[in-house]
Amino acid sequence: MEFCAEIKNLTVRFNGETVLYDITANFAKRGITVLLGRSGSGKTTLLRAVNRLNENFPGYEGEGSVRIASAGAMREIYGKGAPEAARIRHGAGMVFQSPNPLPLSLKKNMLLPMELVLGIKGAEAEARMEKYLRGVGLWEEVKDRLNAGALSFSGGQQQRMCLARILALEPDMLLLDEPTASLDKKSSEVIEELLKKLEERMPIIMVSHSLAQAKKLGAHFKLMSGGRIVKEFEREELPRGKDTETFLEELL
């Protein structure tokens, strides 16, 4: 199997408190990998280890190796000789639990990252903005309000904008931290449909609280508890039908 990320002996501490214990895991290139586990089990920290975002929190200390697939090769992202954190975060695009638009107009939210990260401006950037807003089904809803503040849109629209914003940077993979946790049912379904389509195009690692969602989207599962991965299984190993959620529930 081909991998998009390989983690070896990863230990992460915040202010001396260990959050991840000696984790070794591989993440498949094809199909959505879902990280399951109770609150505080270290799912988000593990996800953030893949784009080095843990470093932006106070008291971070980490050791171990994380390699991610970029331009056809596996590349170590920690230690000496690793690319800059900004480059890694561009390659591994992240969507957060609650929508996090910059306090700018929707248009600038889309254009500023393209300008700063890719150096794309003007008509090219606007064309790309339209393409990706269409991709998340948002264009028709917002095309007349592009200059309005991004925070004035509904939560679901904001989250789709965040997804479009990261996709417009054309990352190598997507990291999703409970992307539908703060959304209502209908908006969640829209995002889930999008993810199903995206799965074809790029590797996705997703943290999820919702067992129903995990069942719907996941191809590979990793169950976390107390900072360790305690169980890994594939979609095929899930029991069929209604028992799936009970099965997952019991695991947790």
Where do contacts with another protein occur on this chain (CB under 8 A)?
A: 51, 53, 56, 84-87, 89-90, 93-94, 96, 100, 102-105, 107-108, 112-113, 116-117, 147-149, 165-166, 169
Sign of the torsion angle spanned by Cα atoms 126, 177, 217, 66: positive
- DSSP β-bridge partners for residue 129: none
Reported as half-sphere exposure (CB side, CA atoms, 13 A), residue 84 has a value of 4
Beta carbon nearer to another protein, 117 or 238: 117
Beta carbon nearer to another protein, 85 or 251: 85
Which of 130, 148, 147, 149 shows the shortest CA–CA distance to 139?
Answer: 130
**Residue carrying the six token digits 């996941």:** 218
Minimum distance from residue 85 beta carbon to another protein (Å): 7
Minimum distance from residue 171 beta carbon to another protein (Å): 9
Cβ-count burial 6-31 (b if 16+ within 10 Å, e if not) = bbeebebbbeeeebbeebebbbbebb
Minimum distance from residue 68 beta carbon to another protein (Å): 14
Beta carbon nearer to another protein, 29 or 87: 87
Minimum distance from residue 89 beta carbon to another protein (Å): 4
Beta carbon nearer to another protein, 85 or 219: 85
Structure tokens at 220: 């590979």
Beta carbon nearer to another protein, 11 or 98: 98
Cβ-count burial 83-114 (b if 16+ within 10 Å, e if not) = eeeeebbbbbbbbbbebebeeebbbbbbbebb
Beta carbon nearer to another protein, 110 or 248: 110
- Determine how many CB atoms are found less than 10 A away from the CB of residue 76: 15
Minimum distance from residue 246 beta carbon to another protein (Å): 35
**Which residues touch 190 (CB under 8 Å, ≥6 apart)?**
137, 156, 160
Beta carbon nearer to another protein, 84 or 250: 84
Minimum distance from residue 242 beta carbon to another protein (Å): 37
Minimum distance from residue 201 beta carbon to another protein (Å): 19
